[in-house]
Amino acid sequence: MTALINLLDLDPAQLVAYCGELGEKPFRAKQLQRWIHQFGARSFEEMTDLAKSLREKLTTRAIIGAPAVISDHTSADGTRKWLVDVGQGNAVETVFIPEENRGTLCISTQAGCAVNCRFCSTGKQGFNRNLSVAEIIGQLWMAEFELRKTKGVVAGPKGERQITNVVMMGMGEPLLNFAPTVTALRLMLDDNAYGLSRRRVTLSTSGVVPMIDKLSQECPVALAVSLHASNDELRDSLIPLNKKYPLSELMAACKRYLEFAPRDFITFEYCMLDGVNDSDLHAKELIQLVKNVPCKFNLIPFNPFPESGLKRSGNLRIKAFSQVLLDAGIVTTIRKTRGDDIDAACGQLAGEVQDRTRVQLRMQKMDEYKSRFGENFGKIVEIVQ
C-alpha cells in the first residue's frame, strides 16, 4: 500500500509537481495551498471549489497532518505555549507572544538540540531528531488557527491573520536541519500560503558558518545570531560550536549575509550572565568585535535553571552594559521577559519535555483502558500490581 503524502510537507513548487502527478493543472496547487494555509482546512471535503474527482483522489492519496497538541497554556501576560507531539516520546514547544501591534510565533526546528549551549535548558536534554517540514510549518498552521478560534475570527485569506511575525528561536538549531527549515520558510513567504515578508521572518542561529552562507543564497530572511560572548575563549565555554566556527569566521559570514538579507543589519542576541559576560570590558570588546558588521544588540536577561550553574545579571548591570553599547552608537534593546510563569521564556523551552510527554501518553493509555474495560478496570490493575 502506497504511503499517504502529507501536503504540509510540500513547498509551492513541490505541490505543483504533485498535482502534475495527479494529472491536474498547476493552478490546483495554489487552490490547495490557500485552503490549507489560509483557511486551515483539515479535510479535502471542505475544499468546495475543487472538482469532486480531485477531492476523491486526494482523500485516498494524501493527508493534511500537523503534530498533535499535548498541552496548551496561557501566561498571565498573554503568552501562549503549546507542547506538540512529534512522535516516539518526543515533543517540542511552540510559543506565541502577543504585542500591541504584532503577534510573534516562536517555532522549533528540532526535538532537543545538539549545540548544548551552557545557558539553554533545551540543550541539556540532548538531541533527539530533526523535525520534518510538516512538523515545522505545522506549528504555524496549528497556532494560527487555534488563535483564530480563540479570537472568534472567521477563517479567510485577508485581514484576519493573528500571527504577523515568525522567529525560528524555539528548540533546536535551524541551520543543522537545513532542508526542512528552508522548505518551511518558503511556505511562510508564499502569497498563496502565509504571505509573510522576509523582514518579518527571523532565523536564529548559534553560528553554523557554512549554512549561513547557504541560507543567503537559497532563502535569505532576517538573521539573528546567538552571540553571548565577546571573545573566543569565553564563547568556547558557553557555546561549544565556537571551537569549530570562531568569532572571526562568524563575523565574516554575517557581513557576507548582509549582501542578500532583507534587513540592513544583523541582530546579535546576548544572554546576560552574572559575573560571566556582563562587565563593561565585555561590552567594549563587543564594540570592537562588531565594528565592521552593521548590527543591533538584543540583551536577554538569563532565565535560570538548576543544571546551568549560572545566574541572571542584575537589572542595573544590564542597563549599564546596554549604555556602553548605546554610547558607541549601537542600537541596543533589553528583551522583556515573557511567559516565564509557564516556562515559555527564552532558554526555558522543554527542559523536561520528554518526561512530561511520557506521562501524558501514559495518562492517555490509562483513559483508553478505563473506557475499554469499564468497571473491571480496577480489578485488572490490582491483578497486574
The cell for 286 is 563587543
DSSP class of 177:
S
Can you tell me the distance from the alpha carbon of 266 to that of 344, in angstroms, rounded to the nearest whole number? 24
The cell for 115 is 549545540
* Strand, helix or coil for residue 161: coil
CA-based radius of gyration for the chain: 23
* Active-site residue, selected from the candidate residues 19, 24, 93, 295: 93
The question of whether 346 is a catalytic residue gets the answer yes
DSSP string, 211-254: HHHHHHHH---EEEEE---SSHHHHHHH-GGGGTS-HHHHHHHH
Task: Characterise 320 by phi-psi region: left (phi > 0), alpha (psi -120 to 50), beta (else).
Answer: alpha
Can you tell me the distance from the alpha carbon of 258 to that of 75, in angstroms, rounded to the nearest whole number? 36
Do the Cβ atoms of 219 and 180 come closer than 8 Å?
A: no
* Strand, helix or coil for residue 325: helix
Of the candidates 69, 46, 30, the one whose C-alpha atom is nearest the C-alpha of residue 191 is: 30
Question: What Å distances lie between residue 97 and 93, 184, 186, 225, 342, CA to CA?
Answer: 13, 20, 22, 20, 13
Task: Characterise 222 by phi-psi region: left (phi > 0), alpha (psi -120 to 50), beta (else).
Answer: beta
Do the Cβ atoms of 235 and 118 come closer than 8 Å?
A: no
Residues 6+ apart with CB under 8 A from 249: 209
280 phi/psi in degrees, rounded to 5: -60, -35
296: β partners: 267, 331
Active site residues: 93, 346
